[in-house]
C-alpha cells in the first residue's frame, strides 16, 4: 500500500507508474483505492463509476476499469457533505460531521479488495490524504484502518517539492501508534528537483529518526502533465501553448475536468482557467463551461463572479460557448430540482443561451458511449455521468449522436452548444474538426497514444530511480 504524508504528494502517479512497470515485467498487477474523494470520475463498462485516477491506473496495468478498484467514492457537493458512490452506484450522502460512519463501508471495501486480488499477482493499494490523520482514525477505511484490516505492508511517500519533507515523514512516524508505524516498511521521496546527492543527508536523518529504509528519490517527472489529473486542486492554466485561447471558468464543484486534458496538449491552444474574481479574457475564442457536481450552486457562483456578463459580451463579439454536462444544463432557460436533490426544491433560471430546460431527477446515468459529431461526421468516444433530463427546441439541433440517439443542443446561430458527453476531446478526429471551426491550425496530436507513451516513460522513470525489486520483496511477491 502506497500511503502519503499528505494529499497531492503524487501517490496516484506513483501507483500508475508502478502498475505499468510491473506489467512490463510480466506481473499481473491491479490497482485499488479503498476510498477516494474526487469529482473527477470515470465510467466503468458495467455502468458504475470510480475515481479517474483508478481508471488511469487500470489502463497502466492493462485492465478494464472496475467498480471494485475504488469501492468508496465520495463526491463533494458542498463544503460539508458528499455524494456517496458504493461499488460504482449512488448510495446517498455523507455529512462531514458523521465521517466516522465510513466504518460501515468496510465490508464492501473488503469484498472489492478480495475480488481484485483473485486475478492479480499483486494489488497496489493507494491511500488517501495523509497517513497521519490520527484525528480521523475512528472508522478509517482509507489508510491505516484499511492496511491493518487487510494486513498489507505500507510504503510512505513524501513530496519534497512543497518543502518540509523531513518533518512530514518524521512527524508521521511520531504521531502514529507504534504498531502502525511498524507497518510502514520503507519510504519514498517524490518530486525532487536538482541533484539528489544534495539530499543524501536528509535521507540519513529520516532513516535514523524513523527506522524506515529509503526506496529512492524520484526526480520531478515532467510528463505527469500529460496524464489525467485526479482532482481540481492542481487545476490551473497551462503553459502558453498557442494563439487560440479557450477560457474555462473555475467553478467550486468542477467535475470531470479531464475533458480539458487533450486541449492542454494541443500546440496551438492555450487553456486559461479563470479563477474567482477575474474576468473571462476578452481574447478567448471559446468559453467552455465544464461539468459540475452541484449545477445550481455553481450557476449562482458563476453569476456572482459576473461571468454571465462576460459570456454575453463574448457572444456579442462573435465568440463561441460550449457547455459540458452541468455546464450544458446551465446554458438553458431553467433548471428544476423538484425533489431537492441539490438543495431546496425549486426552479432557477439558467443563462438562457439555449432554448432548453433541465429537470434534475434521482436516476443517475453512468455509461461509456460511442457515437459521432453530427456537424463533421467524425467519430467520438466518451462517457456520461449525470443526473437530469434536458429537453427543448434547441435539442432539435443536437451536437452529437450516441448509440443512434441525439444528444445535446445547439443555438439557432450555432454559437452556443452543449452535450452530456464527457471525454469528447480525446477523440482526435473530432477534436481537430471542432478546433478547426474556431480557426485553430491542424495538429498531429494523437492523445491516447500520448497517454500510453507517457505511462511507459513514467514506468522507465521509476525503474531507474526506485528500488522496485525491494517493493516486490516487501509485498511478498515470489514470482
What CATH number should be reported for the domain holding residue 30? Answer: 3.40.50.300
* 271 and 190 together in one domain: no
* 463 and 319 together in one domain: no
Question: What pLDDT does residue 347 have?
Answer: 97
In the predicted model, is pLDDT for residue 459 greater than 90? yes
Is residue 145 one of the residues assigned to a domain? yes
* 213 and 314 together in one domain: no
* 52 and 149 together in one domain: yes
What value does the mean pLDDT take over residues 89-115?
Answer: 87
What percent of the chain has a predicted confidence (pLDDT) above 70?
A: 97
**461 an active-site residue?**
no
Question: What angle is formed at CA 186 by the lines to CA 185 and CA 189, rounded to 5 degrees?
Answer: 155
Is residue 479 one of the residues assigned to a domain? no
What value does the mean pLDDT take over residues 392-409?
Answer: 97
CATH number assigned to the domain comprising residue 350: 3.40.50.880
* 362 and 431 together in one domain: yes
Contacts of 53 (CB under 8 A, 6+ apart): 12, 15, 16, 33, 36, 38, 40, 126, 228, 230
Which one of the listed residues 82, 157, 325, 395 is annotated catalytic?
325
Is residue 196 one of the residues assigned to a domain? yes
pLDDT digits (tens, 9 = 90+) for 188-204: 999 999 988 889 999 99
What does DSSP assign to residue 401?
Answer: E
Is residue 230 one of the residues assigned to a domain? no
* 160 and 60 together in one domain: yes
Question: What pLDDT does residue 45 have?
Answer: 84
Contacts of 389 (CB under 8 A, 6+ apart): 358, 359, 361
* 283 and 335 together in one domain: yes
17: three-class secondary structure by DSSP? helix
* 178 and 43 together in one domain: yes
If one counts every other C-beta atom within 10 angstroms of the C-beta of residue 90, the result is 18
* 80 and 147 together in one domain: yes
* 259 and 311 together in one domain: yes
Using pLDDT thresholds of 50, 70 and 90, give the confidence band for residue 365: confident
In the predicted model, is pLDDT for residue 237 greater than 60? no
What does DSSP assign to residue 333?
Answer: S
- Domain assignment of residue 413, given as a range: 235-445
In the predicted model, is pLDDT for residue 17 greater than 50? yes
Radius of gyration over every alpha carbon of the chain, rounded to an integer in angstroms: 23
Is residue 422 one of the residues assigned to a domain? yes
pLDDT digits (tens, 9 = 90+) for 149-178: 999 999 999 999 999 999 999 999 999 999
Domains: count for the chain: 2
Alpha-carbon distance of 387 to 404, in angstroms, equals 21
* 196 and 119 together in one domain: yes
Which one of the listed residues 68, 373, 422, 461 is annotated catalytic?
422
Is residue 353 one of the residues assigned to a domain? yes
* 211 and 119 together in one domain: yes
Is residue 459 one of the residues assigned to a domain? yes
Q: How many CA atoms lie within 13 A of 119 on its CB side?
A: 13
Helices (H) and strands (E) in the chain, counts: 14, 26
Using pLDDT thresholds of 50, 70 and 90, give the confidence band for residue 99: low
Residue of 329, 290, 294 lying closest to 424 (CA atoms): 290
**422 an active-site residue?**
yes
What value does the mean pLDDT take over residues 252-278?
Answer: 94
Residue of 136, 193, 192 lying closest to 159 (CA atoms): 192
Is residue 33 one of the residues assigned to a domain? yes
Read off the pTM: 0.91
Per the structure block, which three cell numbers stand in for 37?
474523494
Amino acid at each position: 500500500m502506497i500511503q502519503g504524508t499528505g494529499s497531492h504528494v503524487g501517490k496516484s502517479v506513483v501507483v500508475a507508474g508502478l502498475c505499468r512497470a510491473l506489467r512490463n515485467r510480466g506481473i499481473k498487477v491491479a490497482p485499488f483505492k479503498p476510498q477516494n474523494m474526487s469529482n473527477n470520475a470515470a465510467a466503468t463498462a458495467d455502468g458504475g463509476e470510480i475515481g479517474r485516477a483508478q481508471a488511469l491506473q487500470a489502463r497502466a496495468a492493462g485492465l478494464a476499469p472496475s467498480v471494485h478498484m475504488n469501492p468508496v467514492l465520495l463526491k463533494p457537493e458542498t463544503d460539508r457533505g458528499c455524494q456517496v458512490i458504493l461499488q460504482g452506484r449512488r448510495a446517498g450522502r455523507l455529512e462531514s460531521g458523521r465521517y466516522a460512519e465510513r466504518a460501515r463501508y468496510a465490508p464492501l471495501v473488503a469484498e472489492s479488495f478480495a475480488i481484485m486480488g483473485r486475478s492479480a499477482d499483486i494489488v497496489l493499494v493507494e491511500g488517501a490524504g495523509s497517513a497521519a490523520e490520527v484525528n480521523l482514525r475512528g472508522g478509517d477505511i482509507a489508510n491505516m484502518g484499511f492496511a491493518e484490516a487487510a494486513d498489507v505492508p505500507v510504503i510512505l511517500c513524501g513530496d519534497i517539492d512543497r518543502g518540509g519533507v523531513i518533518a512530514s515523514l518524521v512527524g508521521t512516524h511520531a504521531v502514529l501508534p507504534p504498531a502502525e508505524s511498524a507497518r510502514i516498511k520503507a519510504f519514498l521521496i517524490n518530486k525532487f528537483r536538482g541533484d539528489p546527492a544534495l539530499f543524501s543527508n536528509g535521507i540519513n536523518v529520516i532513516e535514523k529518526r524513523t527506522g524506515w529504509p529509503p526506496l529512492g528519490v524520484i526526480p520531478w517527472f515532467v510528463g505527469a502533465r500529460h496524464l489525467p489529473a485526479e482532482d481540481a486542486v492542481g487545476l490551473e492554466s497551462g503553459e502558453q501553448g498557442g494563439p487560440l485561447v479557450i477560457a474555462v471558468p473555475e467553478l467550486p464543484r468542477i467535475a470531470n475536468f479531464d475533458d480539458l486534458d487533450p486541449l492542454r496538449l494541443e500546440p496551438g491552444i492555450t487553456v486559461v482557467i479563470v479563477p474567482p474574481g477575474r474576468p473571462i479574457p476578452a481574447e478567448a475564442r471559446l468559453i467552455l463551461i465544464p461539468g459540475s457536481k452541484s449545477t445550481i450552486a455553481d450557476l449562482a457562483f458563476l453569476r456572482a463572479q459576473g461571468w454571465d456578463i462576460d459570456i454575453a459580451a463574448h457572444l456579442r463579439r462573435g465568440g463561441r460557448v460550449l457547455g459540458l454536462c452541468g455546464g450544458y444544463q446551465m446554458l438553458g432557460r431553467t433548471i428544476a430540482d423538484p425533489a431537492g436533490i441539490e438543495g431546496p426544491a425549486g426552479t432557477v433560471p439558467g443563462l438562457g443561451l439555449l432554448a432548453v430546460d433541465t429537470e434534475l431527477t434521482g436516476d443517475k446515468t453512468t455509461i461509456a458511449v460511442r457515437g459521432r459529431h453530427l456537424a463533421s461526421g467524425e467519430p467520438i468516444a466518451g462517457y456520461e455521468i449525470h443526473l437530469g433530463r434536458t429537453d427543448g427546441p434547441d435539442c432539435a439541433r443536437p451536437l452529437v449522436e450516441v448509440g443512434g440517439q441525439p444528444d445535446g443542443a445547439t443555438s439557432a446561430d450555432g454559437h452556443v452548444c452543449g452535450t452530456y458527453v464527457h471525454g469528447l476531446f480525446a477523440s482526435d478526429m473530432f477534436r481537430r474538426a471542432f478546433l478547426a471551426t474556431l480557426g485553430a491550425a491542424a495538429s498531429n496530436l494523437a492523445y491516447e497514444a500520448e497517454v500510453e507513451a507517457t505511462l511507459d516513460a513514467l514506468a522507465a522513470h521509476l525503474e531507474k530511480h526506485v528500488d522496485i525489486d525491494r517493493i516486490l520483496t516487501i509485498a511478498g511477491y515470489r514470482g
